[in-house]
């Protein structure tokens, strides 16, 4: 099995990926493969001492065949992961980065290498799932909405603050807001806390719908919509656009890349 990781701004997600052609193993209740590729993994915050966090997360894990990761985390966290993997398993971490073209996806960024590795991996996974146009919504610390046309060309996307950043901005930059724990059910909020959490949630969902409208108009077709990221669950019910929730989309992309080898 390969260990695939997504080092985000606030936490690390991981899964075990089965190489193509691997003989089917008996699936137990604890070992159910998603899309016949990923075995359930987990997610964890980096903690005060990331090395100790890695000990707790992976200390009992059998040595994988390969380890691959996308990272938008700090250089220190990325280097700590590489050191831990080398010292425990004698493996180098394959660092996934965006490139000009790979696995049917063409990168139209002005500088392809500047596209976030997590966004690139999600686009790779989206193309593997759909050969028509698709938009990828990633609800993480930052929210990204990226458009891929039916030819596999990444046409571009947008980045805006996610839920936590929106709420944190209100807490830090205003005098009257001191609590962001409230009821998200109504935009007729009657407390400040409820107003903050409902306003940011409905505002984010509305922004996603508007961006998807604009991207569809520019693509000239109604795309498939895939939504992923830790903050996706509270947003899902508020979206007007039909969508598919794929929690491990970035990890799927990492798995596809590591299985395929070098970029083409």
Domain spans of the chain, in order of start:
2-95, 101-163+186-255
pTM, to two decimals: 0.89
Beta pairing class for 66-71 and 93-95: parallel
Measure CA of the first residue to CA of the last residue in the chain; give whole Å. 23
Options 3.90.850.10, 3.30.420.40, 3.50.50.60, 3.40.309.10; CATH of 101-163+186-255: 3.30.420.40
**Annotated catalytic residue within 6, 55, 92, 118:** 118
The pLDDT of residue 26 is 34
Containing 259, the helix (H) or strand (E) segment is helix 249-260
The pLDDT of residue 123 is 98
The pLDDT of residue 37 is 74
151-182 pLDDT, tens digit each: 999 999 999 999 999 988 888 877 666 556 77
Q: How far is CA 20 from the centre of its chain?
A: 22
* Residue of higher predicted confidence among 38 and 129: 129
Q: How far is CA 68 from the centre of its chain?
A: 15
Q: Would 2-95 and 101-163+186-255 be classified into the same CATH topology?
A: yes
- The answer, yes or no, to whether residue 249 has pLDDT greater than 90, is yes
Q: How far is CA 146 from the centre of its chain?
A: 12
- The answer, yes or no, to whether residue 25 has pLDDT greater than 60, is no
Query: Given pLDDT bands bounded at 50, 70 and 90, which one contains residue 264?
Result: very low
**Average predicted confidence (pLDDT) for the chain:** 89
Tell me the mean pLDDT in the region 120-140: 97
Is CATH 3.30.420.40 what the domain over 2-95 is classified as, yes or no? yes
- The answer, yes or no, to whether residue 32 has pLDDT greater than 50, is no
- The answer, yes or no, to whether residue 36 has pLDDT greater than 60, is no
Query: Given pLDDT bands bounded at 50, 70 and 90, which one contains residue 191?
Result: confident
CA–CA separation, 142 vs 229, rounded Å?
A: 10
Beta bridge partners of 224: 134
The pLDDT of residue 180 is 61
State yes or no: is 6 an active-site residue. no
Which of 31-45, 186-200, 218-232 has the largest mean confidence? 218-232
Containing 255, the helix (H) or strand (E) segment is helix 249-260
Which whole-number Å values give the CA distances from 30 to 26, 39, 63, 245, in the listed order?
11, 9, 19, 22
């Amino acid at each position: 099995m390969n260990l695939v990781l997504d080092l985000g701004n606030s936490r690390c997600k991981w899964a075990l990926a089965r190489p193509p052609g691997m003989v089917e193993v008996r699936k137990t209740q604890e070992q159910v493969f998603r899309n016949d590729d990923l075995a359930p993994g987990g997610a964890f915050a980096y903690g005060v001492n990331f090395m100790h966090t890695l000990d707790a997360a992976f200390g009992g894990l059998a040595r994988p065949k390969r380890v691959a990761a996308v990272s938008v985390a700090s250089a220190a966290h990325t280097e700590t992961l590489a050191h831990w993997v080398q010292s425990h398993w004698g493996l180098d971490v394959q660092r996934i980065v965006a490139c000009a073209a790979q696995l049917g996806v063409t990168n139209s960024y002005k500088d392809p290498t500047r596209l976030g590795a997590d966004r690139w991996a999600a686009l790779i996974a989206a193309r593997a799932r759909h050969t028509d146009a698709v938009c990828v919504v990633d609800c993480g610390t930052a929210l990204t909405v990226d458009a891929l046309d039916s030819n596999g060309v990444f046409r571009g996307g947008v980045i805006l603050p996610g839920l936590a950043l929106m709420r944190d901005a209100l807490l830090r930059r205003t005098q009257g807001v001191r609590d962001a724990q409230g009821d998200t059910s109504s935009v007729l909020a009657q407390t400040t806390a409820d107003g903050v959490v409902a306003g940011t949630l409905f505002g984010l969902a509305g922004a996603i719908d508007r961006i998807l409208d604009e991207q569809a108009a520019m693509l000239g077709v109604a795309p498939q919509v895939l939504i992923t990221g830790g903050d996706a669950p509270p947003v899902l019910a508020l979206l007007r656009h039909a969508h598919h929730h794929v929690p491990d989309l970035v990890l799927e992309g990492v798995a596809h890349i590591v299985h395929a080898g070098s970029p083409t």
